[in-house]
Amino acid sequence: MGHYTEKGVGSKLIDVNGKEYLDFISGIAVCNLGHCHPKVVEAVEEQMKKLWHVSNLFQIEGQEQVAQLLVDHSVLDYVFFCNSGAEANEAAIKLARKSTGKHHIVSLTNSFHGRTLGSMSATGQDKIHQGFGPLLTEFTYIEMNDPKALEEAVTEKTAAIMVEVIQGEGGIRLMSNEYAEALTSICEKHNCLLIVDEVQTGIGRTGTAFAYEQFNLSPDIVTVAKGLGNGFPVGALLGKASLKEAFQPGSHGSTFGGNPLAMAAAKAVLTEVFQKDLLQSVEEKGNWFQQQLQQKVGHFQVVDEIRGKGLMVGIACHTEVAPVIKACLEKGLLVLPAGPKVLRILPPLVVTKDELELAGDILADVFATIEQQNSVNI
Ligand SMILES: *Cc1c(COP(=O)(O)O)cnc(C)c1O
């Protein structure tokens, strides 16, 4: 936005001049319940007057409640709290190495796992590494959806394979079901762990509590962050019971991780998002929105493919999307890129069909103008 944002209400952002925008970025898949969701505001406000911080030297009731919600809605058994996605992935890498006694990690090209040295080393994109010197050793990157490359890269020395089931920053690229099956069997064969990074896809974004469910996976470790606090910074690692021994007090920790304020936000978020009706509505609205987009923009020559799951949607284009994003902004719609040629659309999960329809109309307008300009240029 050209001007400071002053206020956010549900799917809308309002700048200092009073101009309204339809926010289909959601703070990059963070404000899944929309801006200033009343239940989250209330929970944090109440906690703010009671207790902010005691450190993890003490038991924190909120942590137990949030962990229970996460465990009840996943195949995982225990939870470690931290403050961001990168930290959750850092913890995942450490846990995988310590619990297996092995060091080799396989991850995917075009992946994004964060900006700390560990999570950056797992990130399979040169442009993210540029200028930061030697990365951690024993990381191998392979192309997603190529089972043969997987077969070749993974050995008995591999501690873990780390993946996103839908690559977010990397261009809303979906894992194939065949590849998900190959992941399961190769992990079994070589006794290595499967880490699914759900920092962007988790917390209802794709129409299920976690996206791995839709790929028939049973990960050993899942990481979450973005949507967990609806804007309050918080991250978490979810692990299988068998890994618990490797992370004891003293082996890994965080001063702020899981503090009472963050837990108040997360508990309110999960109580809302994990409701069956809400998750179903995300799936349903997502499918409907993709159909709408097919009709409204699918026919333009610059549009290559519309893809995604739930309310994590990409429009892959044949040209750079920066001008599309700028034109949308001018018309009051906020969307973001995922790589140079993919438009990424992440509406809040509480978005209405009217708002989805309006966004589709704005995109149709913008693509029509761009197509016209292109034909004039030719
Ligand atoms: C955003 C993101 C991260 C990094 O999270 P931060 O909170 O920015 O550290 C890691 N993995 C994925 C898939 C992400 O989308």
Q: What is the pLDDT of residues 16-67, one digit of tens each?
A: 999 999 999 999 999 999 999 999 999 999 999 999 999 999 999 999 999 9
Q: Which domain holds residue 25?
A: 5-30+277-377
Distance CA 86, CA 112 (A): 10
Count Cβ atoms below 10 Å from residue 364 Cβ, excluding itself: 18
C-alpha angle 32-119-164 in degrees, rounded to nearest 5: 50
Q: Do 139 and 248 belong together in one domain?
A: yes
| CB of residue 346 inside a 6 A radius of ligand 1 | no
- Which residue is listed with tokens 């892959």? 316
Does the pTM exceed 0.95? yes
Please tell me the predicted confidence (pLDDT) of residue 376: 74
CATH number of the domain to which 338 belongs: 3.90.1150.10
Could you give the percent of the chain with pLDDT greater than 70? 99
Instruction: Kindly give the distance from the C-alpha atom of residue 85 to the centroid of ligand 1, in angstroms, as a whole number.
Output: 4
Pair 127, 233 in one domain:
yes
Q: Which pair of structure tokens corresponds to residue 41?
A: 């505001």
Any ligand 1 atom below 6 A from CB of 10? no
Claim to verify: residue 176 and residue 83 sit in the same structural domain: yes
The CATH number of whichever domain residue 125 belongs to comes to 3.40.640.10
Q: Is the pLDDT confidence value at 1 over 70?
A: no
Q: What is the mean pLDDT of residues 186-195?
A: 97
- Whether residues 164 and 264 share a domain: the answer is yes
Same domain, 73 and 183: yes
Check pocket membership of 229 for ligand 1, CB cut-off 6 A: no
Q: What is the pLDDT of residue 250?
A: 82
Catalytic residues, by residue number, are 112, 197, 226
Mean pLDDT of 220-241: 98
Atom nearest to 111 CA in ligand 1: 13
Average pLDDT of the residues of the chain: 96
| Total tally of structural domains belonging to the chain | 2
- Considering the domain architecture, whether residues 25 and 93 belong to the same structural domain is answered as no
∠ CA 123-126-131, rounded to 5°: 105
Pocket test for ligand 1, best of 28, 83, 108, 112 (most atoms within 8 A of CB): 112
Same domain as 160, residue 55: yes
Q: Is the CB of residue 344 below 6 angstroms from any atom belonging to ligand 1?
A: no
Q: Is the pLDDT of residue 378 over 90?
A: no
Domain match, 91 and 219 both: yes
343 and 362 co-located in one domain = yes
For residue 128, give every residue at least 6 positions away whose Cβ sits within 8 Å of its Cβ, in sequence order, or none.
112, 115, 120
Residue 247: what pLDDT? Answer: 87
Q: Which long-range contacts (CB under 8 A, 24 or more apart) does 43-47 make?
A: 43/264, 43/265, 43/267, 43/268, 44/232, 44/261, 44/264, 44/265, 44/268, 46/264, 47/260, 47/261, 47/263, 47/264
Average pLDDT over residues 153-169: 98
Answer whether 86 contacts ligand 1 (Cβ < 6 A): yes
Average pLDDT of the segment spanning 308-325? 97
**pLDDT single digits (tens) 169-182:** 999 999 999 999 99
The reported pLDDT for the residue numbered 248 is: 81
Pick the residue whose CA is nearest to atom 5 on ligand 1. 85
Q: Cα(117)–Cα(128) distance, rounded to whole angstroms?
A: 11
* Rg (the chain; Cα; Å): 21
Which one of 226, 247, 273 terminates a domain?
273
261 and 283 housed in the same domain: no
At 164, the pLDDT band (50, 70, 90 cuts) reads very high
- Backbone phi, then psi, for 115, in 5-degree steps? -115, 0
Find the 284 Cα to ligand 1 centroid distance in Å: 26
Which of 250, 273, 296 delimits the end of a domain? 273
The reported pLDDT for the residue numbered 2 is 63
Kindly state the percentage of the chain with pLDDT values over 90: 94
Q: Mark whether 130 and 246 lie in a shared domain.
A: yes
**Do 59 and 199 reside in the same domain of the chain?**
yes
Please tell me the predicted confidence (pLDDT) of residue 249.
78
What residues are designated binding site for N(2)-acetyl-L-ornithine?
115, 254
Single out the residue in 273, 289, 315 at which a domain terminates: 273
**pLDDT given for residue 375 in this prediction:** 79
